[in-house]
Amino acid sequence: MRILLIPFFNAKSKYVNVYKNMYKKMYKKSKIDVVNYSLFNAINFTGWNRIKDGCYNKYLNYNSYDLIHTFSGGNFVLHNLINNNNSLILNSNKIIFDSSPFFATSKQTSKYICNTLNINNNFIDSNLQSLISTYWSLEKYDKEYEVDMYNNWLNATRNSLCLLPENDPLLEYKDIELWSDKTNSEIVYFNDSNHVQLYRKHPEKYMQNIIDYYNKK
């Protein structure tokens, strides 16, 4: 079984190994690749195109995976790996979103950055949203085209599994639920859990949902 993990930005090896061990426990013969990425490449269109041009291809030993598991903003990285410009055809019929998907908006991106930097200040958040919008407008890439490409990909990810905390300030729940309805994707909520901390709080439930999802035809 080939598995691709795309954790949250700058995830430490200790965190990644928890999930690698989880999959080894469930599927002893699994082969697991991990894509570690920078915050810069995840949140701006210059970075997106770096990924498309292959800056993370070195992490990929296969072009097809039985299961792809993304965390937090890792879905931005997955989108650009799939839309690689170097003829890499990355695909999987099974995609898991943990504490995601995120959407390509300045509001969501600002929340993501503030959480990463442990900033809890509405004034900073509001000003950061404006700064992100301005920065995106100055990039040489066409923002509307890039966002449309991302949204088209996200809306084409049929039959995914979405694992969510019940109350996560980083997530746009209405948008996720609309996306889930459009794509026939399943949402499973976890109580008493924080962003990307679902497995730590509810390991048995987390693993069972992955097994059920993978076994589903």
How far apart CA 36 and CA 80 sit, in angstroms, is 14
How far apart CA 72 and CA 100 sit, in angstroms, is 5
- 186 backbone dihedrals φ, ψ, rounded to 5°: -100, 135
Domains of the chain, earliest start first:
2-215 (3.40.50.1820)
The per-residue pLDDT for 87 is 66
The whole-model pTM stands at 0.89
Could you state, in chain order, the average pLDDT of each consecutive group of 10 residues for the chain (217 residues)? 91 93 95 92 88 92 91 92 76 90 84 79 86 79 82 90 94 94 96 94 97 92
The per-residue pLDDT for 83 is 84
How far apart CA 35 and CA 8 sit, in angstroms, is 10
